[in-house]
Amino acid sequence: MSGYHDARLSEDPRRGATWSALWHYVFRHHVRPEDCVLDLGAGYGDFINAVVARERIAVDAWPGMADHLAPGVTPVVTPATDLSAIPPGSVDFALASNLFEHLSRDDARTTLAELRRVLRSGGTLALLQPNYRYAYREYFDDYTHLVAYSHIALADLLRAEGWRVTMIKPRFLPLTIKSRLPTWRWLIGAYLRSPIKPMGKQMLVMAQPG
């Protein structure tokens, strides 16, 4: 696991700046101050560290995650397929960023079942990840990618597993921060508001338990 982080997911302050902007412009509008927020596959904690909520939980199989979390964030070191440490119906909003493409189909279904168990009725799941329809050239440059999803395939998977899809944004973000593009908050905000998405190869899909 540490080898993967060294090779493909090294720590980068631009990632934190990007997630801070995404929280400000997008995700804070889906989270109330009294909510419990779960970051599944939290990595360096860039999303959950930016969240303002009553309770924040970071889940990752990588033990090094805990060293990067902000005060007040609860680390849970476990694979995404086993959320038994989290009480049923206790989570209001869950995000999984760049996770499901790393799971087998069976593990993806198990993970969705676990998320259904921990989310409260009316809770929201947000999935942010590469969209194979637009990122097919680079998709398998990451040697740990197992399954290719387009925005259509991901939404269909959710529906097949009993979820109600509430939002689909096929071109939400560029594929990676590994570029010379600046990560200024106002620029990210302008990109998110723009109807034209140059280099938009990551999708955002939101759903609620059916």
Written as six digits, the tokens of 159 are 């529906």
Q: Tell me what pLDDT residue 10 has.
A: 54
Stretch 2-27: mean pLDDT: 74
pLDDT in tens, 30-85: 999 999 999 999 999 999 999 999 999 999 999 999 999 999 999 999 999 999 99
Computed over every residue of the chain, the mean pLDDT equals 91
Confidence bin at 102 (pLDDT 50/70/90): very high
Q: In sequence order, which ranges of the chain are alpha helices (DSSP H)?
A: 2-7, 13-25, 46-50, 105-118, 132-135, 151-160, 185-193
Res 136 pLDDT > 50: yes
Confidence bin at 7 (pLDDT 50/70/90): very low
Q: Which phi and psi (to 5°) does residue 13 adopt?
A: -60, -20
Higher-pLDDT residue of 198, 51 = 51
Which CATH code, of 3.40.50.150, 3.10.580.10, 3.90.1150.10, 2.160.10.10, is assigned to 2-209? 3.40.50.150
Taking the domains of the chain in order of start, what are their residue ranges? 2-209
Res 3 pLDDT > 80: no
Report the DSSP pairing between strands 163-174 and 73-77: unpaired
Q: Tell me what pLDDT residue 181 has.
A: 56
Residues 6+ apart with CB under 8 A from 210: 162, 163, 164
Strand partners of residue 200: 174
Report the DSSP pairing between strands 200-209 and 36-40: unpaired
CA distance 41 to 32: 22
Task: State whether residue 54 is helix, strand or coil.
Answer: coil
Task: State whether residue 12 is helix, strand or coil.
Answer: coil
Confidence bin at 178 (pLDDT 50/70/90): low
Res 164 pLDDT > 60: yes
CB 45 within 8 A of CB 67: no
Higher-pLDDT residue of 35, 188 = 35
Higher-pLDDT residue of 193, 32 = 32
Quick one: what percent of the chain has pLDDT higher than 90? 79
Instruction: Estimate to the nearest angstrom the gap between the alpha carbon of 39 and the chain centroid.
Output: 7
